[in-house]
Amino acid sequence: MKNEFIESKKLKLWIVQLFLVLLLGFSVYALVLQIFTDSTFANKDIPNWVLGLGIFLLLGLIASFASLKLDTQVNQDGVKVSFGILANENWAWQEIAKASIIKFPFAGFGKRKNPKYGTVLSIGGKQGLALELKNGEKWLIDIQNGQELQRVMKVLKK
């Protein structure tokens, strides 16, 4: 019987990614129009470097959304969570006062503070691993397979 829970969830906000790609295409069009036709875009004189910087930032944002995933690992050592540049946490069982699997209302996407759950790391699920640390911090990590995590925690006696 396996005594480890490993889960990886990718962020799938295709509508946001579509909007960013359309905005990128619009920005590239504006830059090309200004450079090659000597006209200004939308009767405004937007400097080419500003459009170029905007394109560069949009490319970074698109790449960030495309690669963002929530990795959760629970084993005999403790709980480890990685959420791209948003969070990289690791707690030993000695630091955790209480760990439970809960159902919660849709809490959105990303990392944020919640008065009831503490710091929430979510990709849009409705169940999560709720942690209360001995130092008073609370964390809620979005998980997909609550039954498997429950089985692993039972084996680990946590």
**pLDDT per residue over 25-60, tens digit each?**
888 888 888 888 877 666 667 788 888 898 899 888
Residues 75, 139 within the same domain? yes
Residues 133, 55 within the same domain? no
Residue 5 lies in a domain: no
Q: Which of 67, 96, 111 is the last residue of a domain?
A: 67
Residue 80 lies in a domain: yes
**pLDDT above 90 for 138:** yes
Band of pLDDT at residue 68, cut at 50, 70 and 90 = confident
Whether the CA torsion 3, 100, 96, 122 is positive or negative: it is positive
Query: What is this structure's pTM?
Result: 0.74
Q: How many domains does the chain have?
A: 2
- What is the per-residue DSSP string for 10-78? E---HHHHHHHHHHHHHHHHHHHHHHHH---BTTB---HHHHHHHHHHHHHHHHHHHH-EEEEEEETTE
Reported for 42-46, long-range contacts at CB under 8 A and 24+ positions apart, including other chains, are none
Q: Give the contacts of 73 (CB within 8 A, at least 6 positions apart).
A: 4, 5, 6, 7, 79, 80, 81
